Amino acid sequence: MESGTDERYVRCRRCHGVFEAGLPNCSRCGAAYTPSPDAPEAGSGSYAEKYMGTQFAEQPEVPVSVPSGGRSGLGFLAAIGVALVVTALAVGGLVAMGAFEAPVPTPRQDIVVTRPATPTPVPTLPPVLTKTLAQLADPNLNMHVSIRTTVSVNARENVDARSVSSVVNMEVDCAGGNESGTQQIGAVTYEWRLVNGTYFQRRLPTGAWKAQPGFSPFIILSPLFSLSEPRMLQYDGADVLSGAPADKLESTPWWTPDPGKLSGVDVSSLGLNASPQHTKLVLWVGSDGSPLYATFRAWTDASDGTGTNLLNISTTYTFTNVGDVLPIPSPTIK
């Protein structure tokens, strides 16, 4: 503590606050009061007076003139160096005391992370799978594919409040943009052909061929699965299919298919209250990128937490003779 100008008050050595003399602690910061030591008395006579006339007397300084043109910049640089050192020490002291530290933010419980409007991009696919995308996108892809679909609709999801269940089997040949195949629903089997944009159909075993004014969207398989961009698929690693090595692919949120085109059934005939909430495609391909097998699923779950499937469409695809199917002619109409 230091004494103030008025003897009734003293000054705190710590915070420099002034408070009444006689108090044991500073009324501002609480530090204990310590009286200032008395200043030492000056000795009798100054140094100059004591040693005047002796060899210890202070010698007068003789100014030295320096030519203006011969002065180097060393002194100026040394002064700058000293200034920089002093500045560094001062800044270091402030950093040590935490003067530049930002306040620690207080965690908040009400922060909501906004979901992006578009799905997160997926990693780049292996080079061999570029061939797969090229084949699937080719409207003239030659192949044979066996398709099996099971459908179940809960009465809660049907506009007529009735349950629906069915199994559909299809055998389809695709060649040069044309298609031919059979579709079996229960005990009824139809044969059909799509040649140069015209759709023909007959009921087996003895029905006559007739050109039809329209057809269901699932009839046109190519381009297969509507995979138009690499980001619609993600690589799920190497796998084994029927004892042979294969690469496994899965759809990503970027893929938004038409269930009516992929399911092998006329979805509009199911009387659904709404479109399926979820879709998923899993595809296995060979070492040359050719499709081998695929599963497609479209479904809607109940929102009451019971785990009930209000709608379930499950389709499998088995591919053979990729690239080897013969041309498909128009049927003979009598």
**Measured distance CA(32)–CA(1) in Å, rounded:** 8
Q: What is the pLDDT confidence band of residue 109, given thresholds at 50, 70 and 90?
A: very low
Check whether 107 has a pLDDT greater than 60: no
Check whether 57 has a pLDDT greater than 60: no
Q: What is the pLDDT of residue 309?
A: 81
Instruction: Give the domains, in start order, of the chain with CATH numbers.
Output: 1-37 (no CATH), 128-320 (2.50.20)
Least confidently predicted of 23-37, 96-110, 255-269: 96-110
- For residues 183 and 3, the model is more confident at 183
In tens, the pLDDT along 208-229 reads 999 998 887 778 887 788 888 8
Check whether 34 has a pLDDT greater than 80: no
**Measured distance CA(200)–CA(209) in Å, rounded:** 6
Report in angstroms the alpha-carbon separations of 72 from 21, 62, 63, 78, 132.
Answer: 58, 22, 19, 11, 78
In whole numbers, what is the pLDDT of the chain averaged over residues? Answer: 77
Check whether 188 has a pLDDT greater than 70: yes
30: left (phi over 0), alpha (psi -120 to 50) or beta: left
- For residues 233 and 83, the model is more confident at 233
**299 touches 312 (CB < 8 A):** yes
pTM more than 0.75: no
- 6's tokens: 């008025």
Across the strands, what pairs with 183?
Answer: 170, 190
